[in-house]
Amino acid sequence: MTEQPFLRTAVRVFRKLTPRAKVAVCELPLTLVVTGLIVASSGVWPTLFQNWMLVVGLLLHGTLFLACFLVPWERLPSNASLIIPILDFVALAFTRSGSYGVLPGLAVLALFPVIWLSASGLRAKTSLSISFAGPLVISLPAFISHLPQPTAADIFSVAVLPLLLLAVSITIRLSGSNARIQQRRVSERDQALRQLLAASKDREMLLETILDTIDVGIVAVDSKGKTVLTNNQQREFLRLAKTGASTDDDESFIHGLDKQTPLPPGKRPIERAIQGETFSDYLVWFGSGPEQRAISTAARSMKRPADDGFGGAVIVFRDVTDVVEALAAKDELVANVSHEFGSPLTSILGNMDLALHGDEEIPAAPRRRLEVVERNAERLHALVQDLLLSSAAVESVYLRRTDVSGLVENSLVSAHAQADAANVGLVADVPSPLWAEADPLRLGQALDNLISNAIKYSPGGGQVNVKAARNDGWIHLEVCDTGIGMTSDETAKIFTRFFRTDSARQAAIPGVGLGLSITKSIVERHGGTITCSSMPGKGSTFTVVLPAEHDDAAAAS
Ligand code: ADP
């Protein structure tokens, strides 16, 4: 374990050395070993230095070591210093020949220049050839001198040693190239990682810029509900909302639709998102006073890939104060104008009634004209009533114990004349009683609307079916016709105020597109829902689901 860091440090230190010091460090082990061996042997064999070959060999070793320091290697080509290990073979040949009698194994020291050459980066062919030839040069003189009866050591030296050192050289080269391949791979991977990192930093910067540029507040929470991202716009919303607030750390500045009651924690958008809820167009009010803002919120949760559990959520906050104020102003205008129209219209209708149905005899021609005026005044009156209702329906619903089947019955009776005139059949399947907490006036209006629409938008010969049933604590009411129907795009919009389908307009069927929006708000005020399914040319089915009265209350009655 400690070897790797040590080696790495050694390599780092070696790389920092000057070219001369590098050559000297490579030559140092051989010089030290040769010096040590000769010094030790000279004590045992004092006559050793009488051999001129040994002396030449030692001088050569010394000269080569000195040359390591004296030659300006930095100015020479990078491979120039390899002359030193090559000449080491020559020096070793002399040293070994001169000391053969006492130190025959000296040839093994050829290992040092072989290692140097093999690790030097010299071309494979050259370094392998020298690694074989060098040891051969060292061992050949002794072999020749012992011919024709060479010793076992001679045979070892001349044949085995060059081969052995060749094998060593091959091994070093192979492990060197392996290491180089590994290093290349590591550096390629390193580069790929760097590129990925740079790309992801770029993306992060882009995302941050986008998040901070848009005028929508964004908050992201992680799987534990901790906030991990808040963009500039959201910080601005919070700053405005908290201005003047007594506490800074909780979200009590978030108010409900009445603009005053702080939302309980479980109803706050972020808390709802943390509970895993997905929602859109959830309107809340931030702050209070003149800085109060209407904020439309939406949330989408993310799933953990591993177990589909809650993986966090993104909550979006959009300032819709202007839209909400414009809608409120429009509602007020509609209510005021309708109200102002109401009185003169009532007066026109009253006087018209007196004129037409009073004692005075009116000639046929003006009577027909007056009847047209009366019909149109009635239509205008109905429109004004609708307009008034559309701005008031949401506020005024007074619930009490009501039999819904009775309301359906009343609506069917009132619709009979219209159905007969339009030649549309009316069929009902409504069990009695169906008790619910309802406002009979409002719910009656809603039913009138649905049934009269079903007749109005059915060509002659069609049929309207009204069904009701109690199911699992809910009352299901169905108004089904065989009329002109609608496309799915149109079906999605019919509860929007003033929306009318193309086919209704083209067929010049009278209407202003307010009835269904009023019906929807009445049903919702009762805690119910209304849906529609329709097919062009095949007819439409409107389904109202209302909470029924509890069984025990029904039984007690
Ligand atoms: P109005 O009937 O006064 O136009 P409503 O709000 O009642 O207004 O209806 C909105 C629109 O929805 C109608 O104009 C018509 O295009 C379409 N619609 C409503 N009921 C039906 C129905 N039963 N069949 C086909 N279209 C319908």
> Residue 450: CB within 6 Å of ligand 1?
no
Q: Are residues 114 and 226 in the same domain?
A: no
Band of residue 1 on the pLDDT scale cut at 50, 70, 90: very low
Report yes or no on 205 lying in a domain: no
Same domain assignment for residues 161 and 286: no
Q: Print the domain residue range for 167.
A: 3-189
10 Å Cβ neighbour count for 388? 18
Confidence tier at 553 by pLDDT (50, 70, 90): low
* Cα–Cα distance for residue pair 514/418, rounded to 1 Å: 19
Cβ atoms < 10 Å from Cβ of 446? 30
In terms of Cα–Cα distance, which of 457, 476, 460 is closest to 468? 476
Residue 202 lies in a domain: no
Q: Which residue has the higher pLDDT, 369 or 155?
A: 369
Identify the pLDDT of residue 512.
81
Question: Global pTM?
Answer: 0.48
Mean pLDDT of 360-371: 87
Residue 198 lies in a domain: no
What's the rounded Cα separation, in Å, for the pair 557 and 552?
9
Please indicate, yes or no, whether residues 368 and 459 belong to a single structural domain of this protein. no
Categorize the per-residue pLDDT at 320 as very low, low, confident or very high, splitting at 50, 70 and 90.
Answer: very high
Q: Give alpha helix (H) positions in 45-159.
A: 52-70, 83-98, 111-118, 124-145, 152-155
The answer to whether 211 and 231 have CB atoms below 8 angstroms apart is: yes
Site to probe by mutation for ligand 1, drawn from 489, 491, 500, 534 as the one with most ligand atoms within 8 Å of Cβ, is: 500
Is 55 exposed, middle or buried (CB count within 10 Å of its CB: 0-12, 13-18, 19+)?
middle
Q: Measured from the CB, is residue 500 less than 6 Å from ligand 1?
A: yes
158 and 225, same structural domain? no
Q: Tell me the CA end-to-end span of the chain in Å, nearest whole number.
A: 88
Higher per-residue pLDDT: 529 or 397:
529
* 482 CA → ligand 1 middle, Å: 14
Domain shared by 387 and 426, yes or no:
no
Kindly tell me if the per-residue pLDDT of 6 is higher than 60.
Answer: yes
From 380, 445, 457, the mutation candidate for ligand 1 (largest count of ligand atoms within 8 A of CB) is 457
Residue 455 belongs to a domain: yes
360-382 burial string, b = 16+ CB within 10 Å, else e? eeeeeeeeeeeeeebeebeeebe
Looking at the CA of residue 518, tell me the nearest atom of ligand 1: 6
> Cα of 344 to ligand 1 centre, how many Å?
28
Q: State if residue 430 touches ligand 1 by the CB under 6 angstroms criterion.
A: no
Per-chain mean pLDDT for the chain = 88
Please work out whether the CB of residue 486 comes within 6 Å of at least one atom of ligand 1.
yes
Question: Cβ(513) to ligand 1 under 6 A?
Answer: yes
Expressed in angstroms and rounded, the spacing between residue 452 Cα and the centre of ligand 1 is 10
Percent of the chain with pLDDT over 70: 95
Q: What is the pLDDT of residue 201?
A: 95
454 lines ligand 1 (CB under 6 A): yes
- Is the same domain home to 361 and 447? no
Mean pLDDT of 110-136: 90
Encode pLDDT of 303-318 as tens digits: 888 888 899 999 999 9
Is 208 within a domain? no
Mean pLDDT on 202-213:
92
Please tell me whether residues 454 and 350 are part of one structural domain. no
Domain boundary among 172, 189, 206: 189
CATH number of the domain where residue 442 is located: 3.30.565.10
pLDDT higher than threshold 60 for residue 556 = no
Average pLDDT over residues 418-430: 95
Report how many domains make up the chain: 4
Would you say residue 175 has pLDDT above 90?
A: no
Residues forming beta bridges with residue 220, ordered by sequence position: 229, 314
Q: How far apart are CA 266 and CA 270, in angstroms?
A: 9
Task: Determine the distance separating the centroid of ligand 1 and the alpha carbon of 345, expressed in angstroms.
Answer: 25
Mean pLDDT of 342-355: 88
Q: Which of 349, 366, 395 is the last residue of a domain?
A: 395
Q: What CATH number did the domain enclosing 243 receive?
A: 3.30.450.20
pLDDT at 256: 86
Gap between the Cα atoms of 159 and 157, Å rounded: 6
Residues 143, 67 share a domain: yes
In a domain, 212, yes or no: no
pLDDT of residue 305: 85
From the CB of 514, is ligand 1 less than 6 Å away? yes
407/538 same-domain check: yes
Is the Cβ–Cβ distance between 554 and 435 less than 8 Å? yes
H/E element, 214? none
Residue 13, helix vs strand vs coil: helix
Residue 221 shares a structural domain with residue 246: yes
**Stretch among 70-79, 224-233, 237-246 having the lowest mean pLDDT:** 237-246
φ and ψ at residue 464, rounded to 5 degrees: -120, 125
Gap from CA of 518 to ligand 1 centroid (Å): 12
Q: How far is the CA of 257 from the centre of ligand 1 (A)?
A: 29
Mean pLDDT in residue range 172-197 = 91
The pLDDT of 154-182, averaged and rounded, is: 85
Token pair belonging to 280: 């859109």
Same domain, 76 and 18: yes
Ligand 1 contacts CB of residue 515 (under 6 A): yes
Query: For 98-109, what is each residue's pLDDT tens digit?
Result: 887 677 678 889
User: Does 339 score more than 90 pLDDT?
Assistant: no
Give the end of a domain, one of 293, 319, 345: 319
Query: Mean per-residue pLDDT for 142-163?
Result: 77
Looking at 138-147, 268-277, 340-349, 470-479, which range is the least confident one?
Answer: 138-147
CA dihedral 404, 441, 542, 391 (to 10 degrees): -150
pLDDT band at 178 (very low <50, low <70, confident <90, very high): confident
Task: Report the pLDDT averaged over residues 512-538.
Answer: 91
Examine residue 196 and state whether it is found in any structural domain, yes or no: no
Q: How many CB atoms neighbour CB 64 within 10 A?
A: 20
Q: Is residue 206 part of a domain?
A: no
Q: 503-514 pLDDT, tens per residue?
A: 999 888 888 888
* Same domain for 169 and 45: yes
State how beta strands 425-429 and 463-471 pair.
parallel
